[in-house]
Amino acid sequence: MNNRIDHKLYSKEDKPVKFSEDMLKRIGEIILHYPRERRRSVLLPLLHIAQQELGGYLSVDVMDYVASLLDIHPIEVYEVATFYSMFHLEPVGKYVIEVCRTGPCSICGSERIVDQLEKILGIKTGETTPDGLFTLKTVECLGSCGTAPVMQVNTVFYESLTSENIIQIIGDLKNQGNNKPLETKWVDLF
Residues of this chain that bind ligand FES (CB under 6 A): 100, 102-105, 141-145, 148, 150
Are residues 15 and 61 in contact, defined by beta-carbon separation less than 8 angstroms? yes
Helix (H, G, I), strand (E, B) or coil at 185: coil
Indicate the residue type of 160.
Answer: S
The Cα 122–Cα 94 span in angstroms is: 16
Kindly report the three-state secondary structure assignment for every residue of 42-91: HHHHHHHHHHHHCCCCCCHHHHHHHHHHHCCCHHHHHHHHHHCCCCCCCC
b/e map 122-134, b = 16+ CB within 10 Å: ebebeebbeeebb
| Nearer Cβ to ligand FES (85/102) | 102
| Nearer Cβ to ligand FES (52/106) | 106
Q: How many CB atoms lie within 10 A of CB 160?
A: 12
- For residue 148, the minimal CB distance to ligand FES (Å) is 5
| Nearer Cβ to ligand FES (51/102) | 102
| Nearer Cβ to ligand FES (59/102) | 102
| Nearer Cβ to ligand FES (135/144) | 144
- Half-sphere exposure for 146 (CA within 13 Å, toward CB): 0
